[in-house]
Amino acid sequence: EQFHFLRSPAPWLIFAATMFGNAGVFAWFSYVKPYMMFISGFSETAMTFIMMLVGLGMVLGNMLSGRISGRYSPLRIAAVTDFIIVLALLMFFFCGGMKTTSLIFAFICCAGLFALSAPLQILLLQNAKGGELLGAAGGQIAFNLGSAVGAYCGGMMLTLGLAYNYVALPAALLSFAAMSSLLLYGRYKRQQAADTPVLAGETTGVGYSLGVHYLLPDAA
C-alpha cells in the first residue's frame, strides 16, 4: 500500500524536480571557491565572508518561501524559484568577472535552493497519499542524488579543460530541467482535473496555479 502512489507520474516528476534542482545549484556551488578566486578575483581570505553571505541566503530563502506559501501555491513558488536560479546561473557564466555581481547572484542562487525545500516537500506529500513516509524519504534521496550529479556535471567542464565559469552552463541546464519537470507536473494535473467527472451540484471552477485547473464546488 505504501508504494501505490508511485503508479502515478506525479511523484516521479516531483522527484525529478528535486534532483535536477539540487544538481543545478551544486554543479556550480561545488566549485564556489576556485570560481570566486579565479573568475571573480576574490582573495582566499574573502571566502569566509562569501560563505557567510551564501549561508545567510539559505536561511532567508527558506524563511521567505515559508512566508509566501500561504499566498501562492507550492507549484508556482517552486517553478518561479527554479526560473530565477536558471537566470542567476547564466549570469555566473556571462558576468562572473564582476565581483559585486558574483556576490549578488551567489546569494540569490543559494537562497533559491533552500526556498525550494518547503514547496517541493508539500507537493510530494500531496501526491503520496498512503505513502507519506516513503515519499518524504524519496525526496531526500533525490536531493542527495542531485548533489552528486551536479558536482559530476560541473567537474566534466573542468575535465575538458574549460575555465571555472563554464560550470555554470550545465548548472543552468540542470535547473532548467527541474523547472521543466514542474511544468510537466502542472500539465499532468491540469489534464487529470479535466478528466475528473463533475458530480451533481458541482460546477467546474477554475483555480490558477501556474496554469493548473482545479474542480471547485459552488459556494453555498
- Enumerate the domain spans of the chain: 4-192
Mean pLDDT of the chain: 89
Look-up of cell digits 541566503: 57
35: Cα within 13 Å, side-chain hemisphere: 29
**Mean pLDDT computed over 107-121:** 96
Residue 68's pLDDT band, with cuts at 50, 70 and 90, is very high
**Residues near 10 by beta carbon (within 8 Å), at least 6 away in sequence:** 127, 185, 188, 189
Grid coordinates standing for 114? 533552500
Residue 129's pLDDT band, with cuts at 50, 70 and 90, is confident
Q: 172-190 burial by CB neighbour count: b if 16+ within 10 A, else e?
A: bbbbbbbbbbbbebbeebb
Residue 212, phi-psi category: left (phi > 0), alpha (psi -120 to 50), beta (remainder): beta
**Residues near 121 by beta carbon (within 8 Å), at least 6 away in sequence:** 136, 139
Q: Is the pLDDT of residue 72 over 70?
A: yes
Pair 80, 182: CB distance under 8 Å: no
DSSP string, 132-199: HHHHHHHHHHHHHHHHHHHHHHHHHHHHTT--GGGGHHHHHHHHHHHHHHHHHHHHHHHHHHHHSPPP
Q: Is the pLDDT of residue 215 over 70?
A: no
Looking at residue 196, what is its pLDDT? 75
**Mean pLDDT computed over 44-66:** 96
Distance CA 32, CA 47 (A): 9
| Total-model pTM | 0.87
Grid coordinates standing for 200? 451533481
Pair 13, 182: CB distance under 8 Å: yes
Is the domain spanning 4-192 CATH 1.20.1250.20? The answer is yes
Residue 1's pLDDT band, with cuts at 50, 70 and 90, is low
> Over pLDDT 70: what percentage of the chain?
89
Q: Where are the alpha helices (DSSP H) in 96-131?
A: 99-115, 117-126
